[in-house]
Chains A and B, each alone.
Chain A
């Protein structure tokens, strides 16, 4: 009984931890970008202030908006939050580990994306429609690659449950695995596309020709916009955590270690997260945005890498057994 309570407590900590640090991570990325451009940049806590400001403001809704438009932000935040709370962060073996399945994760994110695309089209403005259509194009290319990456990991570790994959990689002897390297490249490309980052989309622009994510949420304001911004920031934390959990799980508290190992695991996790956010900022200033019609080739590259990864993992498994 006591054990169960402790595990539940750990899971609760993780849930609120990801929610609490998400705006900060976005702030770090923006700050790093600004510094590389030799600007002062907003303080790291600026995203928190923005969110508070948006929550306080009145939210303006278009006259012909349906119930979907008003309820979508809450549902999107909920789906993303659940997904982010399931990815193992500082410890594995928490309360809801059995639910932290890679395929469930993709499904949750897919549901959030479908709602966002529907909400983008709801009011009937042309920008929302074009944003939704582009988002769906990117999603149809990114999702197969993402699934292939997760299946490669599952083939290597023998399970699709993320905490168990992480534990397997920590305990396995260190070897050179070309399939894992290819899967990492593919997952990074998918993460850039899914988080509307350069070179696929620019999170800092409102230029009509190029925007994807911003075009869909153009009609939102006030607390609805705050929900959607929060969901986007959570998604970024989710993807960085996923990459860290699958490819750099070292330092994570193992399942049988108990709460005593959690502070160390948390410190290591936060360091990895901040490093990831800083690297993202450095990457974004060093590359130009792609034309929308070239995104297909970029994400096709991710698909090819992921497919090769799974083929090579398959060869290794066949040959060695």
Chain B
């Protein structure tokens, strides 16, 4: 039983709990706070990995995660919500109970899958990959079940948290790739922001249900 494993297990486990909290929570500011907490947990997990595995370049990844996703993106989204004036509750396509059950099924699936497939890899990699895949799938699930454009953005970002966690677990991801991924996420935020404002301008709402009407294939 080693200390290094326990702490990384704790942080990754708490990230999964944060993913479930994102699925459960239906108030928009609370969603942002949980997302920020998840990003901070991610940066702690990456920092711990850097410290225990003697891989100093991971500290840069941790700092990027903390700065961009822990602070800048939540603050930017917060401002966006205030400007859009959507402080009200989020409506969901499926109920909370069903979403959580699907989430549990996805988590079990990814754990079973990764632990079976990576039977020969070392323990850090297996653990990191298994939990990261679960976080990625939960991010997808959040994007599917939410109808509000802003919480869909949060779902996308939390999916990306899982990607970074997976990249940390696997050895040999070059720093250049990580930095460019981090900045492309930032750019994605700007694109999303422009889109959301355009949607609002056109339909007076950020509920993407409104987009269904202009598809033109059903009627």
Contact = CB atoms under 8 A, between A and B. Distances in A.
9 contacts: A176-B10, A178-B13, A300-B100, A304-B103, A308-B16, A312-B13, A312-B16, A315-B111, A318-B115
Contacts of A182: 13, 17
B37 to A, nearest CB: 15
A38 to B, nearest CB: 32
A176 B115 contact: no
Interface string B96-121: 11001001100110010001000000
B20 A314 contact: no
Contact of A297 (B7, B20, B96, B104): B96
A125 interface: no
Contact of A175 (B1, B17, B130): B1
B134 to A, nearest CB: 8
B65 to A, nearest CB: 20
Interface of A: 173, 175-179, 182, 296-297, 300-301, 304, 307-308, 311-312, 314-316, 318-320
B49 interface: no
B107 A308 contact: yes
B10 A178 contact: yes
B127 A315 contact: yes
A316 B16 CA distance: 15
Given A176-B10, A308-B107, A315 B24 contact: no
B111 A307 contact: no
A177 B10 CA distance: 7
B123 A175 contact: no
Contacts of A304: 20, 24, 100, 103-104
B165 to A, nearest CB: 14
B9 A178 contact: yes
Contacts of A297: 96-97
Contacts of A308: 13, 16-17, 20, 104, 107
A319 B97 contact: no
Contacts, number: 60
Which interface class (under 10, 10 to 19, 20 to 34, 35 or more) fits B?
Answer: 20 to 34
B131 interface: yes
A179 B131 CA distance: 14
Given A315-B127, A315-B130, A319-B127, A178 B115 contact: no
A308 B13 CA distance: 9
A304 B9 CA distance: 18
Contact of A301 (B10, B13, B24, B115): B24
Given A178-B13, A300-B97, A300-B100, A311 B20 contact: no
A301 B16 CA distance: 14
Contacts of A316: 9
A311 B111 contact: yes
A301 B7 CA distance: 24
B72 to A, nearest CB: 28
A312 B14 CA distance: 10
A310 to B, nearest CB: 10
Contacts of B16: 308, 312
A316 B126 CA distance: 10
Nearest to B110: A311
Nearest to B115: A318
Contacts of B7: 176
B100 A319 contact: no
A311 to B, nearest CB: 6
B137 to A, nearest CB: 13
A320 B126 CA distance: 10
Interface in B61-98: 96-97
B123 A314 contact: no
B217 interface: no
A142 B123 CA distance: 34
A301 B24 CA distance: 9
B213 interface: no
B6 interface: yes
Nearest to B131: A315
Contact of A173 (B1, B13, B97): B1
A301 B103 CA distance: 12
A263 B104 CA distance: 45
Given A315-B115, A316-B9, 9 more contacts: A175-B3, A176-B9, A176-B10, A297-B97, A319-B5, A319-B123, A319-B127, A320-B5, A320-B123
Contacts of A315: 9, 111, 115, 127, 130-131
A178 B14 contact: yes
For the complex of A and B, the 8 pairs showing the least CB-CB separation, nearest first, are A178-B13, A319-B123, A178-B10, A176-B6, A319-B127, A312-B13, A176-B10, A318-B115
Nearest to B114: A315
Contacts of B97: 296-297, 300
